[in-house]
Structure 1
């Protein structure tokens, strides 16, 4: 059966001088909605797209073009409904929001977006990365639906990757030159900019949970080294014994390969997380998650073991606000991955947020432009995932690969290569 979309632009005593603009606007909305309908076969996506096109058209009383109150202000409202399960999202008394219909949809469908690290990932590792990010997205989304807490969701998603050896976080972390694991993590709540950051952790299964404890149980933003380890003990966090249980064979092989490169004259950790541009056995990658719940609250979490062959005591971008992690409900949330030294110099996460906040660009445009510019300026590769305050996502990486996935409703979309985007339905 041929799909159909039907739109309206409002009923009323419309002056003849406005007819052409109304005609043009509804035809454009119908075309946009139908294009989405054919592409996605989703009636929900189609009606949202059609209405969004009219929300930015001054010929209509929605979004830009909304009528004024007696106080000369704009107060908007919107609703969206899915017939299959009667799921509904409604919003009212909105101010200064470009697309009320998208916010209405968010109240019906929260979003979680995760990444499993950017780098030169061998093809043999793709399936493990795919499986891991999809699992993390499912776990995070389940928590998001159950608790309606973006903070709980990103912590749960990252925890699932911290116990998966396919990723460079927790179990599976890369090794220092001394063949030890030193981990770091950060978590941020966009509603009040509350933050917890940790670094130089050893033998702790879930660094991201310790970062959250720093946020919720101390007056500080950041703890590192022995102070962080002492705090973990005070909080009853398990310190694995005997030490070294987080070291994997993949990580050992990656360090061996790095040391061989070092002996050939490449003495510095290179521009990707694996230590140099050539593929090495055991490649792994930083993990991160960004979520927005039905109240519009945004949270971000990022966790890593750093880069293969790093000096003992090296601190990367992951625990640094504005570099590896940033969240602000007014604009969006970002988690980054890649060559930490380059990300730190560019303050990549905050750069993406600033582009959304001050240039008015989309989440995708901000993410892509910032990552490209960082690579151009520093020579280091990176990737980032973004969700803006309207629930739009951004995904981009300048490295060869980055595993990522997001869930919205019953669908998970994921990929690892440039241009790859695979969608599956999960009930």
Structure 2
């Protein structure tokens, strides 16, 4: 009997060692080097070239990126939740006219500003999102409230505006979102429409390169807190000259935003239609979960291969359950910043 028990114990030990050996080296290393907490943000991806950027403008972007990420960092450092860090960090970027979210949102074909946002809790897989709102000052706050105070995941249009009012969120006059720079972009694209497109081919402008490249500034954040909980959020004004109530990837859970404590938290930015088709944010998590690959490998596979092969452009920022941070994009640049538990700050704009 003792011999039988001994053999069973040996077999179990061997099986356990065998299963552990299936873990990639990257995962073993990440477990050993696990960060206490981490935060990463983006302010949009696109044709962002140094030769087109003045020193003053570059400094302004870097200053705001640092201001935003330090807000989230301080929340995490003091033991706050990843959800709060994501929300408050995004608030800073929504309040800046530099980014295509909140105050700096682009204009629709009708000359209005329509906002989309989403947030997700990696611990519970609960999520909230809103699309096409026009009077909510901080759309990410609405997404968080939808998650926390409603039985739904996404609200849209007038219904979302009404819910925001009922919940006591800050409501502003639509004129609050007006910025001269974004309005001139709309006028330029409309002028191009008149000059270059036949009357029967107006819809083609929706996929014009100028519009695609004008989708700079969508903002997002992914974070890991001291309790091991992941969260991600994304906020945007969408695409310049969008029409027909167009909604991009930013409020779509699995496309623009995804978080799962078992894998990673992801926020996307880019040409939304392709991010929806590829389910970019979830796909990165799925590769990690089902193929047991690292965050870096998964992000590279999805952005540089799957998304690129579809014809899509853009990028993601993400953090995994070990605190490893990744910024992956297939464009000329992406506004981004990271901070780890040691307080080390890194800011980037161009493809280095």
User: Partner of 1:260 in structure 2?
Assistant: 191
For the pair 1:149 / 2:81, whether they are aligned, the reply is: yes
For the pair 1:389 / 2:325, whether they are aligned, the reply is: no
8 Å contact from structure 2 (residues 68, 89) kept in 1: yes
Give the CA RMSD over aligned residues.
2.2
* Cα offset, 1:397, TM superposition: 1.1
1:75-90 to structure 2, matched below 5 A, reads none
**Is the partner of 1:132 in helix, strand or coil?**
helix
For the pair 1:317 / 2:249, whether they are aligned, the reply is: yes
8 Å contact from structure 2 (residues 90, 219) kept in 1: yes
For residues 13 and 296 of structure 2, the distance between their equivalents in structure 1, rounded to whole angstroms, comes to 37
User: Partner of 1:251 in structure 2?
Assistant: 182
8 Å contact from structure 2 (residues 140, 235) kept in 1: yes
8 Å contact from structure 1 (residues 271, 381) kept in 2: no
User: Partner of 2:23 in structure 1?
Assistant: none
User: Partner of 1:418 in structure 2?
Assistant: 351
User: Partner of 1:347 in structure 2?
Assistant: 279
**Is the partner of 1:171 in helix, strand or coil?**
helix
* Cα offset, 1:384, TM superposition: 0.4
8 Å contact from structure 2 (residues 325, 338) kept in 1: no
**Is the partner of 1:244 in helix, strand or coil?**
helix
8 Å contact from structure 1 (residues 178, 312) kept in 2: no
Which range moved further: 131-140 or 316-325? 131-140
For residues 133 and 365 of structure 1, the distance between their equivalents in structure 2, rounded to whole angstroms, comes to 26
Q: 1:123 aligns with which of 47, 53, 77?
A: 53
User: Partner of 2:161 in structure 1?
Assistant: 229
8 Å contact from structure 2 (residues 333, 349) kept in 1: yes
8 Å contact from structure 1 (residues 174, 284) kept in 2: no
Query: What's the CA shift string for 1:88-146, capped at 9, x where partnerless?
Result: xxxxxxxxx7343223xx23xx1110000011234234333222222111111011112
Aligned residues: 321
For residues 96 and 114 of structure 2, the distance between their equivalents in structure 1, rounded to whole angstroms, comes to 17
8 Å contact from structure 2 (residues 338, 346) kept in 1: yes
Query: What's the CA shift string for 1:248-306, capped at 9, x where partnerless?
Result: 1111111122223323436423377x6145xx7xx741000000011211000100000
For residues 352 and 262 of structure 1, the distance between their equivalents in structure 2, rounded to whole angstroms, comes to 37
* Cα offset, 1:380, TM superposition: 2.1
User: Partner of 2:3 in structure 1?
Assistant: none
**Is the partner of 2:177 in helix, strand or coil?**
coil
* Cα offset, 1:224, TM superposition: 0.7
8 Å contact from structure 2 (residues 39, 338) kept in 1: yes
* Cα offset, 1:171, TM superposition: 0.1
| Unpaired stretches in structure 1, ≥5 consecutive residues | 1-66, 75-96, 420-427
8 Å contact from structure 1 (residues 170, 304) kept in 2: yes
Q: 2:135 aligns with which of 177, 199, 203?
A: 203
| Unpaired stretches in structure 2, ≥5 consecutive residues | 1-9, 18-26, 198-203
Q: TM-score, normalised by structure 2?
A: 0.85
- Residues 68 and 165 of structure 1: CA distance in aligned 2, closer, same or farther (over 3 Å): farther
Q: TM-score, normalised by structure 1?
A: 0.71
> Which of structures 1 and 2 has the bigger CA Rg?
1
* Cα offset, 1:198, TM superposition: 0.4
Q: 2:263 aligns with which of 300, 317, 331?
A: 331
User: Partner of 2:291 in structure 1?
Assistant: 359
User: Partner of 1:41 in structure 2?
Assistant: none
Query: What's the CA shift string for 1:12-35, capped at 9, x where partnerless?
Result: xxxxxxxxxxxxxxxxxxxxxxxx
User: Partner of 2:111 in structure 1?
Assistant: 179
**Is the partner of 2:207 in helix, strand or coil?**
coil
**Is the partner of 2:275 in helix, strand or coil?**
helix
For the pair 1:101 / 2:36, whether they are aligned, the reply is: no
**Is the partner of 1:387 in helix, strand or coil?**
strand
Q: State the structure with bigger RCO (CA 8 A, min sep 6), 1 or 2.
A: 2
The structure that is helix-richer by fraction is: 2
For the pair 1:379 / 2:278, whether they are aligned, the reply is: no
User: Partner of 2:5 in structure 1?
Assistant: none
- Residues 146 and 348 of structure 1: CA distance in aligned 2, closer, same or farther (over 3 Å): same
